[in-house]
Amino acid sequence: MMIELLQPYISEIITAIVGAFVAWFFARKKQQMEVQANELDNVDKAVRIYREMIENLGEQLKTAIVELDAAKKTIKELEQKVEALTNELTKYKQLNGKTKV
């Protein structure tokens, strides 16, 4: 009795099942392609961010090197001044008889 009720609709049921399967199959392919496209976009964005960070770090490194060179020059000048002042102090002490030669 149940089969008699469904018999006129069997072709529609089969068509619906096949249609659903085909739609699912192609939708799955499309979804996989979209996921891959999103992954590629994310990788591209990450590469762009890292590139910007590297460029920024490169500029910071150049600035730090310039500052370091300036600091080395200042240190060298101060060392020369300290040496000159030490020599002058030694001469002054010798003139006052506080130090023996």
User: Please, are residues 94 and 101 in contact by the beta-carbon 8 Å criterion?
Assistant: yes
Could you tell me which of 19, 22, 21 has the C-alpha nearest to residue 11?
A: 19
CA distance 70 to 86: 24
pLDDT in tens, 60-89: 999 999 999 999 999 999 999 999 999 999
Taking only the tens place, the pLDDT of each residue in 4-26 is: 777 777 888 888 888 888 888 88
Q: Does the pLDDT at position 39 exceed 70?
A: yes
Asked if the model's pLDDT at residue 51 lies above 90, the reply is yes
Question: H/E element holding 49?
Answer: helix 10-95
- The Cα–Cα gap between 34 and 101 comes to 89
